[in-house]
Amino acid sequence: MPLRDLALGLGVVAIWALNIIVIKLGVAELPPLLLTTLRFLLVAALLVPFHPVARHQLPFLALLSLTFGTLHFAMLFIGLEQAEAGTGALLVQMGTPFATLLAVLFLKERLGPRRLAGLVLSFAGIVVLAGGPTLPAPLPTALLLVSALGWAISQLLIKQGPNVPPMALAGWVALFATPQVALGSWWFEQGQVVALAEAGWAGWGAVFYTAVMSSILAYGVWYGLLRRHPVNRVVPMVLLVPVLAVGLGVMLLGDGLGPHKLVGGGLVVAGIALIVLRLGPRRTPAEASS
């Protein structure tokens, strides 16, 4: 991979890792579902007018807004309100093992010994994290794992659904998810008007960063890299996201870094590496996309 594209990939990794920190700062000023609603509104406003979709694709996008918009993003924002940034990032990475299990169960994909070992390591890492002091209370832990499950279900839907360009998918999912999450904020949260009036740079910065930097800019660059290079050269960089998120949580938010987080996090990342890394001869971009 040329140095320029490698730098772009690492820049995306840094944006996604910092996104966890930004969400933590944002939910300290804005209720999490309100913050999620504002994020979706901004993404939809910036993308939908420039990325139309066919009418027959709308039901698929509406379904995806439930799993990817509400189940993944809303649960992520709520869970991170009560979890350490690094631990939250590690828990959400369980989306990859969940997606693997769902593909085996519903798409009849072959598991194989390497991916089976990856699943065992990933879940062993969660068990180790559960024995440490940084794991959040049962409810936010469950919400973060549900967020990971929502991501996994969404990946299977995208794999089986119609071919929608990435930016169109992001925009229309955000559009359909906005009223769902807004209704949740109205029903479960209080003081939204006061929070909006009193929000400072952290709250409004989180709206901008999660929408523009993390969703639009980072994903746009990432899909550009996937078009230019084999998947097995690009995707492994994602493994750096939880590692960097843990480090940023320690440096910027004062999160703990004990043996349970180090060992458990290491097992989770190692397990995901076994699942996503493709071993063997290098493939051409055409082979990777086939």
Q: Which residue has the tokens 């709308």?
A: 58
Q: Which two tokens stand for residue 227?
A: 């078009």
- In this predicted structure, the answer to whether residue 1 has a pLDDT above a threshold of 80 is no
Residues 6+ apart with CB under 8 A from 105: none
Model confidence pLDDT, tens digit, residues 187-232 = 999 999 999 999 999 999 999 999 999 999 999 999 999 888 887 7
pLDDT of residue 278: 66
> Measured between alpha carbons, how far is 262 from 260 in angstroms, rounded to an integer?
6
Q: Are 181 and 21 in contact (CB under 8 A)?
A: no
Contact by Cβ (8 Å): 120, 268? no
Note the pLDDT of residue 280: 47
Residue 17: pLDDT over 60: yes
Q: Token digits for 152?
A: 């996994």
Distance CA 42, CA 13 (A): 22
3-state secondary structure of 266: helix
Average pLDDT estimate for 135-148: 89
Q: Tens of pLDDT along 267-282?
A: 999 999 998 886 544 4
User: Is 70 exceeded by the pLDDT of residue 283?
Assistant: no
